[in-house]
């Protein structure tokens, strides 16, 4: 079980943006099935001094070994959202071949590289079993609000919806068959329960994805985020009302649906690797508030916002909004353990009900240690004896 994080360790957990190169492996051959799974301990993250007892979750050796190499657990328990398992980086063929029964023309087959591992919720969230699927699900706004709510109550992780590529990759769990277990329809529902990457009921229910709906590319891509614009979104998984007679309960891995914001679906969240569990960082970066002359400023009630340069560039290329990791109101100066690389950082806070932020600073985390100044927001400089004026970029 994880001990209750120290202030420095907890803050480190909030800012890492791990940038791993593509694994270089070839996508699995059509019809390939993932190897058997193994048991690991799911660690419980403490919240307000309370933690669940660790449990045993069955994950693959690939999940276990890659997580161990990064120094992170293969599975953990979130205070609000339940159990999550580590999904390893890799490459696969997204979409379906033209010969696959039930195929839709929008399912263009193309190679996708998932360049960074991530955590995915073992079971989807629902609003409660009430006898009606519509009452047991969330609209788009509700799904996004759920992710925000779980992020606010978890001291370690930030949660979001999975991209369509992440969802399909995790659902396949190393398989390129029609379903993760193969191409045949099983005689009972046992295979639907949990795939080899310890994910329950993948494909049995319609689940929201982060992506806006649009045609899939036919070329090789890395970590795609879907269409840049549009009023509809991607659902992955099965709609009971759309299942043909004799069709199994689980939808094909490649199947995709278009849904408006008022549609109802289930929610299965992901926690991007790098926004939690900072123990695997190797550069100790000390952040210090400074005034306009570069002198150390007194501590104030600010959050730090940090993003890796690679994450920011990737978001810009894909048209997605960049996700800045937030370190909630640390006591500055603070030393964080970070993965080597290039980052941006700024301070932000609320004054008189308005958000104020300081100038962004680009820095390189390298070597054993580094001290990084963080400018005080311009409107607060006078509080620290400086008359200088500057505007945030």
Question: What is the tens place of the pLDDT at every residue in 240-276?
Answer: 444 555 555 567 888 899 999 999 999 999 988 754 4
Cα separation, 277 vs 337, whole angstroms:
10
Tell me the backbone φ, ψ of residue 381, rounded to 5 degrees.
-60, -40
Is-contact 266 204, C-beta < 8 A? no
Say whether both 117 and 45 belong to one domain.
yes
Is-contact 61 38, C-beta < 8 A? yes
pLDDT of residue 140: 94
Number of domain units in the chain:
2
End-to-end CA distance of the chain: 42
Cα separation, 88 vs 61, whole angstroms:
10
pLDDT at 195 over 70: yes
Coil vs helix vs strand at 181: coil
Asked, for residue 359, whether it belongs to a domain, the answer is: yes
Say whether both 355 and 228 belong to one domain.
no
Say whether both 267 and 289 belong to one domain.
no
Asked, for residue 12, whether it belongs to a domain, the answer is: no
Say whether both 247 and 307 belong to one domain.
no
Mean pLDDT of 222-233: 86
Asked, for residue 7, whether it belongs to a domain, the answer is: no
> What confidence category does residue 381 fall into, taking pLDDT thresholds of 50, 70 and 90?
low
Last residue of some domain: 234, 253, 272?
272
Facing residues of 85 across strands?
75, 120
Rounded to the nearest 5 percent, the helix, strand and coil shares of the chain are 20, 30, 50
Say whether both 266 and 290 belong to one domain.
no
CA separation (Å) from 310 to 295, 328, 346?
A: 30, 23, 17
Say whether both 227 and 374 belong to one domain.
no
Asked, for residue 390, whether it belongs to a domain, the answer is: no
Say whether both 307 and 170 belong to one domain.
no
Facing residues of 266 across strands?
207
Domain hosting 288: range is 278-384
Say whether both 43 and 116 belong to one domain.
yes
Residues with Cβ within 8 Å of residue 10, at least 6 apart in sequence: 155, 156
């Amino acid at each position: 079980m994880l001990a209750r994080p120290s202030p420095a360790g907890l803050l480190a957990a909030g800012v890492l943006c791990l940038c791993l190169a593509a694994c270089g492996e070839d996508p699995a051959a059509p019809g390939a099935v993932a190897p058997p799974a193994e048991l690991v301990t799911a660690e419980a993250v403490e919240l307000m001094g309370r933690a669940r007892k660790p449990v045993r979750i069955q994950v693959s050796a690939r999940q276990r070994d890659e997580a161990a190499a990064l120094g992170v657990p293969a599975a953990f328990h979130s205070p609000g959202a339940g159990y999550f398992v580590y999904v390893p980086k890799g490459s696969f063929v997204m979409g379906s071949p033209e010969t696959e029964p039930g195929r839709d023309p929008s399912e263009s087959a193309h190679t996708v590289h998932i360049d960074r591992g991530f955590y995915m919720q073992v079971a989807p969230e629902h609003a409660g079993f009430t006898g009606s699927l519509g009452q047991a699900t969330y609209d788009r706004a509700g799904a996004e609000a759920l992710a925000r709510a779980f992020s606010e109550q978890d001291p370690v992780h930030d949660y979001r919806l999975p991209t369509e590529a992440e969802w399909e990759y995790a659902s396949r769990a190393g398989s390129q068959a029609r379903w993760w277990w193969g191409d045949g329809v099983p005689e009972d529902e046992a295979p639907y329960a949990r795939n080899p990457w310890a994910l329950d009921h993948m494909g049995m229910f319609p689940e929201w994805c982060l992506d806006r709906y649009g045609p899939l590319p036919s070329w090789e891509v890395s970590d795609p985020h879907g269409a840049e614009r549009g009023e509809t979104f991607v659902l992955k998984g099965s709609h009971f009302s759309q299942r043909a007679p004799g069709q199994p309960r689980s939808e094909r891995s490649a199947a995709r649906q278009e849904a408006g914001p008022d549609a109802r679906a289930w929610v299965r969240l992901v926690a991007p690797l790098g926004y939690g569990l900072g123990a695997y960082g190797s550069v100790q970066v000390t952040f210090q508030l400074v005034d306009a002359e570069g002198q150390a400023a007194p501590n104030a009630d600010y959050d730090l916002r940090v993003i890796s340069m690679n994450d920011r560039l990737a978001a810009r290329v894909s048209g997605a909004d960049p996700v800045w990791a937030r370190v909630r109101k640390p006591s500055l100066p603070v030393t964080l353990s970070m993965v080597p690389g290039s980052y941006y950082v700024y301070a932000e806070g609320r004054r008189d009900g308005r958000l104020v932020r300081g100038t962004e600073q680009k820095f390189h985390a390298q070597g054993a240690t580094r001290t990084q100044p963080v400018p005080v927001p311009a409107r607060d400089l006078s509080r620290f004896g400086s008359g200088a004026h500057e505007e945030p970029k």
